[in-house]
Amino acid sequence: MSRDAAEALRRVFGYDAFRGEQQEIIEHVAGGGDALVLMPTGGGKSLCYQIPALVREGVGVVISPLIALMQDQVDALRALGVRAGFLNSTLDFEERRLVEAEFVTGELDLLYLAPEALGAPSTRALLDRGRISLFAIDEAHCVAQWGHDFRPDYLALSMLHEKWPDVPRIALTATATTATRTEIATRLRLDDARHFVSSFDRPNIQYRIVPKNEPRRQLLTLLRTEHAGDAGIVYCLSRASVEKTAEFLTQNGITALPYHAGLDAGTRSRHQSRFLREDGLVMVATIAFGMGIDKPDVRFVAHLDLPRSVEGYYQETGRAGRDGLPSTAWLAYGLQDVVQQRKLIEGSDGDVARRRVLAAHLDAMLALCETVECRRTQILGYFGESSASCGNCDTCLAPPESWDGTVAAQKLLSTVLRLARERGQKFGAGQSIDILLGKQSDKVTQHRHDSLSTFGIGTELSESEWRGVVRQMLAQGLLAVEGEYGTLVLTEGSTAVLRKEREVRLRREAPRAASARVAKPR
Ligand code: ADP
Ligand code: ZN
């Protein structure tokens, strides 16, 4: 068995040696065992089911949610001489019949299926007519209801075990916390599966998270000083900001292309293939871009807006440095991000439980942004892996100072409290900051907020320092935002601070000039 596997690795794929745990996984599955494989993006998951499918009798059936990529995956396999086909909604009747016939007569090594296809009785009847060597369930975290990428169609995959108990199953994912891993095993009925958990560390990626002042300018500085001529991905939340950022970079002499779901399919695929083929191109995109993109020399991934979860952040930054060379993961993050994300959660459909999950995801992301500890330790800890400080992230390279922000926090909270108690009003962060700074703005004069007792009591901090205080307090749950306008409201934590029962530690923000540049990636 292991000779066949090593032979397939060399002869079909042209590689000399297995990577990481590949060999053990392949031998286990080729020998008929079930497996749950957790491996970071770029770790080499595909071979873990492709080689057993080649070695075993019958056709390997691969369940993958990435319909848009099936054609590419199958083309790539065929170019290597592997007999592969796929069934999904993009095929017409004739094409479908051809693939079905190939499956039944065993003329295929691998058949890719969309998860929804398995729900159809006709597909199940088809599978009964052929010989199946194994089931591979790709992106297995999609079965986790509390995960960040849940797809209801995945729930039906538990029937694979009931209907074909003798066919080995291998589930694979690049993102899974301990809780998600347990949920995958339960929902897919992988009771006897061996778990293969690779380290999630990507030591060549330097993680950096900076306060957001003028995001596009900050990005430009990063690209000019450290990544001139490099290929990279810039993630933005909205289509509009994707367009604006791509335009801004282009005007400043950087070859940048936009990518988002609002562009027509032709433009998207043109931009994607230019990114893959040309050197030094910057793709400015929403998170619609990147799944399954295999470009080894992406030197940086920059986020201009806060990702919704640590899983998402890890997956997106993981697209940098697949070739193992030094790369940068850079995120600019500000008060507005917290306000906006909380608003999105509040306005999202779904029940209370769902919203609570989204809020927990966001809280973990905020904790990563505000940490004074090693970023990598925090990220790996999130995935259940313990590690020492890395020496290759911003907090390791330039340890942030913390300061006692209790008095500042009390000043801010009593402003919010007074607006509510004395005036029956709620405002966004900007108004409270203006009041603390004693600014006679139009809105201050109009509402006579200059007569509040907290007016002008906060001049020891600058406006941007106050924004940092508000942001960090939101992240720590010492303050909350609500409603369409993101107005500030008090929490239980606020009460404790106001009653002097709780101290507030805050992270001192690096001065502007220094925040643009920490150190060269090693
Ligand atoms: P994943 O699905 O885990 O993100 P892939 O299966 O796409 O990763 O593999 C990532 C890259 O590594 C691919 O280009 C693949 O061909 C390559 N690769 C995988 N295994 C090996 C190996 N044993 N030796 C050399 N290259 C490998
Ligand atoms: Zn570190």
How far away, in angstroms, is 37 Cα from ligand 1 center?
A: 14
| Interface predicted TM-score (ipTM) of this complex, two decimals | 0.97
* Mutation test residue for ligand 1: of 47, 199, 297, 319, the one with most atoms within 8 Å of CB: 47
Q: How far apart are CA 329 and CA 319, in angstroms?
A: 9
* Mutation test residue for ligand 1: of 10, 15, 319, the one with most atoms within 8 Å of CB: 15
Task: Please indicate whether residue 510 or residue 4 has the higher confidence score (pLDDT).
Answer: 4
Chain centroid to CA 221: how far?
Answer: 24
Question: What pLDDT, on a 0 to 100 scale, did the predictor assign at position 214?
Answer: 94
Q: What is the mean pLDDT of residues 450-458?
A: 96
Which residue, by CA, sits nearest to atom 15 of ligand 1?
44
Q: DSSP character for 91?
A: S
How far away, in angstroms, is 521 Cα from ligand 2 center?
A: 12
Atom of ligand 1 nearest to the CA of 48: 6
State if residue 20 touches ligand 1 by the CB under 6 angstroms criterion.
no
Mean pLDDT of the chain: 91
Give 399-414 as a DSSP string: PPPEEE-HHHHHHHHH
Ligand nearest to the CA of 47: 1
Q: What is the mean pLDDT of residues 225-245?
A: 97
Split at pLDDT 50, 70, 90, the class of 322 is confident
3-state helix, strand, coil in the chain (%, to 5): 45, 15, 40
Q: How far apart are CA 496 and CA 477, in angstroms?
A: 11
Query: β-strands 402-404, 505-507: how paired?
Result: antiparallel
pTM recorded for the entire structure? 0.79
Task: Give the range among 156-165, 286-295, 453-462 with minimum mean pLDDT.
Answer: 286-295
State if residue 18 touches ligand 1 by the CB under 6 angstroms criterion.
yes
How far away, in angstroms, is 294 Cα from ligand 1 center?
A: 9
State if residue 290 touches ligand 1 by the CB under 6 angstroms criterion.
no
Split at pLDDT 50, 70, 90, the class of 518 is very low
Split at pLDDT 50, 70, 90, the class of 351 is confident
Whether residue 292 is predicted with pLDDT greater than 80 in this model: the reply is: no
Q: From edge to edge, which strands make up the β-sheet containing 84-87?
A: 84-87, 110-113, 59-63, 132-137, 169-173, 35-38, 194-197
Give backbone dihedrals phi and psi of 77, rounded to 5 degrees, phi first.
-65, -40
Question: What pLDDT, on a 0 to 100 scale, did the predictor assign at position 263?
Answer: 96
Atom of ligand 1 nearest to the CA of 13: 16
Whether residue 212 is predicted with pLDDT greater than 90 in this model: the reply is: yes
Q: What is the mean pLDDT of residues 377-384?
A: 89
Task: Give the range among 46-55, 149-158, 317-326 with minimum mean pLDDT.
Answer: 149-158
Q: pLDDT by residue (tens digit) across 140-196?
A: 999 987 777 788 889 889 999 999 999 999 999 987 788 888 999 999 999 999 999
State if residue 39 touches ligand 1 by the CB under 6 angstroms criterion.
yes
Whether residue 379 is predicted with pLDDT greater than 80 in this model: the reply is: yes
Which residue, by CA, sits nearest to atom 2 of ligand 1?
45
How far away, in angstroms, is 517 Cα from ligand 1 center?
A: 33
Q: How far apart are CA 444 and CA 435, in angstroms?
A: 7
State if residue 293 touches ligand 1 by the CB under 6 angstroms criterion.
no
State if residue 41 touches ligand 1 by the CB under 6 angstroms criterion.
yes
Q: pLDDT by residue (tens digit) across 501-511?
A: 999 999 888 65
